[in-house]
Amino acid sequence: MLLNELREQVRRRYAESALAVTTSGTGSCGCDSCCGPSGDFGESLYGIEQRAELPDAAVLASLGCGNPTAVAELHEGERVLDLGSGGGIDVILSAKRVGPTGTAFGLDMTDEMLALARTNAREAGVTNAIFLKGVIEAVPLPAESVDVVISNCVINLSTDKAAVLTEMARVLEPGGRIGVSDVVAEDRLTPAERGERGSYVGCIAGALSKSEYEEGLRAAGFEDVSVDFTHEVADGMHGAIVKATLPVSPSR
């Protein structure tokens, strides 16, 4: 029951953010959220040129902790999946990078965010973006259907992170890769200490430690795993770049 309650809290918080953008034209991060007051989250992590490619509403709805489209080094013709796509900023940027021969999928569980993302994609003139409703622990795509999986400050919100990592491996083609921005704890912090630094909905309490992330990715079948801290968001908690590849002959 607790896990369902946490998921509902996350869903409600992001629905409210989407509605704030669509009804008032302003972002609604709140004082305890993934976009935070420090300037280390959200639209500030995208360059001026990237923001110029996007509708204002997509920029306002950005609640991430990094720029996974840059991390993943996308190429023409690739199929990309964004886990927890929100207002669509990373899907739109991905769609532009992979071009008309590629596809960018966005997965989100929140109807309000999906509606906002589809509107943003239309306004951006993007025709190769597909938005799906679902949870990141059970991706509604076939096995081996994408080349790249990205995510922006969402995996830390999952109540079953092992399932998310396994799903990433399942939907990737052998040889595929992930490029994820997330909040990650230093190994010295216990789960209780992480909870003292912020809420679950605020992307802090549910964050994995660096070694937990690395071990989880390897257990899911990934190799060349790296988790690199980029900026501190709370004592012992960092925005991080997470990268890994799926072997060409995965042992799964």
**Are 181 and 239 a contacting pair, CB within 8 Å?**
yes
Residues near 174 by beta carbon (within 8 Å), at least 6 away in sequence = 144, 246, 247, 248, 249, 250
Question: In the predicted model, is pLDDT for residue 113 greater than 70?
Answer: yes
Break the chain into its structural domains and give their ranges.
Answer: 2-245
How does residue 218 score in pLDDT terms, banded at 50, 70 and 90?
Answer: very high
Biggest CA-to-CA distance, the chain: 50
Question: Each residue of 41-82: pLDDT tens digit?
Answer: 444 454 545 545 554 554 444 555 667 887 888 999 999 999
The predicted structure's pLDDT at residue 5: 64
Q: Rounded to the nearest 5 degrees, what angle is found at the Cα of 45, between the Cα atoms of 232 and 55? A: 150
CATH superfamily label, 2-245 = Vaccinia Virus protein VP39 (3.40.50.150)
